[in-house]
């Protein structure tokens, strides 16, 4: 878009002196025509030059107006106050809550914080699912939170069995571990489904990611998860604290995006996230981590003032990842939602209404009581259809 603005301004600047010269020539020929008429010569009237002048003038004005309007819009966006104060939790829809609870608490060491059942028009409006009755469980791993939702009614669709890591409904949480070898052995003991061929150590030639170890696997519903180990000097310093615990917390939630720049306009320019890091990852390690042949990724990490980060995964190659189905609902098992806290949800909704097709909730929903941990909020989509839940602080 910046390149388009420059081109428009350049064209309009080039056209302006041309229009002035054209006007000067038109005036000259008009003067000669009138002089010849006064001497009694037969003069042929031609309005084409005058029409050309006004056409050129109109084009130049349009170019100036379009370019300046785009530039003004970008400047206004860049100076908006940040909305998001924290990433509160990542959440997903599960098929059987008891089975999922058993997996997350016994295998991954999450602790139960709350377990509630909700229904009614308020929750229908919030989630965009009519006639819902859902059980919502909040889990904690050290300082970070995960939220599981089971739709008792109506049941949604399962995750497609042919899902790949470059499909844009892909999302995961990255769980930091103190020892990758021990973590992988523990997961193998509990027979988790592999998504990677095995743990991968990212190569040292990549300055931002070199030395990091990672492994993708799946939970009982097919949701992608990652265990992550940071070498000294990388990641949040809290991951370097010596401890006997194996699972240390959630570093980020990652989403596949089609266009990093478009996603930045939403998360950075509208919501107020800050870029925390970026890299371009490729090679056999990355291919086997994502289990996608020829994978070359542009990775961009974002942070709010508190909570886990949000990480963009843009597949530069291959570009055959499928979009999120347009008829996706919150009760479908591929549904994830990232909860963000703001001071004023209504102000956030007003800012996001510029793209009404992105809204899931019809308006800001006020809930009776704080059963879900907040009393006011709404759901919206990002440019790729990932769900973001905006809630009051």
Contact call for residues 153 and 135 (beta carbons, < 8 A) = no
The predicted structure's pLDDT at residue 25: 58
Residue extents of the structural domains in the chain: 2-78, 84-392
pTM: 0.80
Residue 35 burial by Cβ neighbours in a 10 Å radius (0-12, 13-18, 19+): exposed
What's the pLDDT at 40? 52
- Report d(CA 313, CA 236) in Å as an integer: 20
What pLDDT does 24 receive?
Answer: 56
Question: How many Å apart are CA 67 and CA 58, to the nearest integer?
Answer: 14
Please state which CATH number belongs to domain 84-392. 3.10.180.10
**Residues of the chain where predicted confidence (pLDDT) is lower than 50:** 1-2, 4-6, 8-9, 12-13, 19-20, 41-43, 45, 47-48, 53, 56-57, 59-61, 63-78
> According to the model, what pLDDT value does residue 36 have?
59
Q: Residue 358: what pLDDT?
A: 86
**77 pairs with which residues across the strands?**
none
Write phi, then psi, for 19 (nearest 5 degrees).
-65, -40
DSSP secondary structure string, 94-141? ES-HHHHHHHHHHTS--EEEEEEEEESHHHHHHHT-TT-EEEEEEEEE
Residue 393 has a pLDDT of: 78
Helix axis angle, 48-78 relative to 2-38, nearest 10°? 160
Give the pLDDT of residue 29. 53
The pLDDT of residue 48:
47
């Amino acid at each position: 878009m910046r390149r388009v603005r420059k081109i428009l301004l350049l064209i309009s600047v080039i056209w302006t002196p041309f229009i002035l010269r054209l006007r000067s020539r038109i005036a000259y020929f008009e003067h000669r025509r009138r002089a010849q008429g006064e001497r009694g010569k037969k003069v042929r009237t031609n309005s084409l030059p005058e029409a050309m002048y006004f056409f050129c003038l109109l084009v130049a004005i349009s170019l100036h107006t379009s370019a300046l309007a785009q530039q003004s819009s970008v400047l206004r966006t860049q100076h908006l106050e940040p909305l998001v104060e924290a990433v509160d939790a990542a959440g997903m829809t599960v098929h059987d809550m008891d089975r999922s609870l058993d997996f997350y608490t016994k295998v991954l060491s999450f602790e139960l914080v709350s377990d509630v059942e909700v229904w009614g028009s308020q929750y229908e409006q919030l989630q965009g699912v009519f006639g819902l009755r859902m059980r919502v469980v909040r889990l904690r791993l050290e300082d970070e939170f995960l939220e599981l939702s089971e739709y008792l009614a109506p049941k949604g669709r399962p995750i497609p069995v042919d899902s790949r890591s470059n499909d844009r409904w892909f999302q995961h949480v990255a769980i930091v571990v103190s020892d990758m070898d021990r973590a992988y052995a523990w997961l193998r003991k509990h027979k988790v489904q592999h998504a990677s061929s095995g743990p991968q150590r990212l190569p040292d030639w990549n300055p931002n990611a070199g030395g990091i170890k990672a492994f993708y696997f799946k939970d009982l519903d097919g949701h992608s998860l990652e265990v992550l180990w940071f070498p000294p000097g990388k990641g949040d310093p809290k991951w370097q604290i010596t401890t006997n615990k194996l699972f240390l917390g959630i570093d980020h939630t990652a989403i596949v995006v089609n266009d990093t720049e478009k996603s930045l306009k939403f998360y950075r320019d509208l919501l107020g996230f800050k870029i925390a890091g970026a890299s371009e990852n490729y090679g056999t390690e990355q291919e086997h981590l994502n289990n996608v042949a020829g994978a070359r990724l542009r990775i961009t990490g974002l942070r709010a003032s508190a909570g886990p980060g949000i990480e963009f995964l843009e597949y530069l190659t291959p570009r055959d990842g499928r979009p999120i189905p347009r008829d996706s609902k919150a009760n479908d098992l591929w549904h994830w939602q990232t909860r963000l806290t703001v001071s004023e949800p209504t102000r956030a909704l007003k800012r996001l209404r510029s793209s009404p097709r992105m809204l899931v909730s019809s308006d800001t929903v006020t809930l009776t009581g704080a059963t879900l941990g907040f009393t006011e909020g709404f759901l919206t989509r990002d440019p790729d259809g990932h769900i973001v839940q905006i809630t009051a602080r």
